[in-house]
């Protein structure tokens, strides 16, 4: 009887945690139910940044990758070195790769 009460308490606590967390992401980091194209884009925001010795101020080599999409194309693109004015920005494009 005592173990039955303990099991019921554990199950009740787990149910409360799951209900409090709300609906989680589905497969591939996407919401379980599509909330529209603007929200879906947030889940496909993978970014790779690589900086070579000549591009960093102290000669460090750096790389980073945010894998926010479980099935995205992780193709790397080389951007040739160039002289830029202070504050100049490069335009980034969002190309939706996956539609289900």
Alpha carbon 34 to chain centroid distance? 16
Q: How far apart are CA 78 and CA 67, in angstroms?
A: 19
Residue 97 backbone phi and psi in degrees, to 5: -100, -20
Structure tokens at 37: 């194209």
Given a cut of 50, whether residue 29 has pLDDT beyond it is no
- pLDDT digits over 33-55, tens only? 454 555 555 555 677 788 889 98
Q: How far apart are CA 87 and CA 36, in angstroms?
A: 34
Q: Average pLDDT of 73-83?
A: 76
Domain boundaries, the chain: 1-42, 44-80
- Give the dihedral of Cα atoms 2, 7, 9, 15; nearest 10 deg: -170
């Amino acid at each position: 009887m005592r173990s039955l009460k303990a099991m019921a308490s554990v199950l009740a606590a787990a149910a409360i945690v799951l209900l409090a967390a709300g609906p989680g992401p589905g497969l591939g980091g996407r919401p379980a139910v599509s909330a529209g194209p603007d929200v879906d884009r947030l889940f496909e925001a993978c970014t790779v940044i690589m900086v070579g010795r000549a591009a960093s101020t102290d000669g460090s080599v750096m790389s980073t990758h945010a894998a926010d999409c479980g099935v995205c194309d992780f193709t790397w693109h080389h951007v040739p070195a160039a002289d830029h004015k202070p504050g100049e920005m490069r335009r980034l494009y969002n190309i939706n790769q996956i539609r289900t």
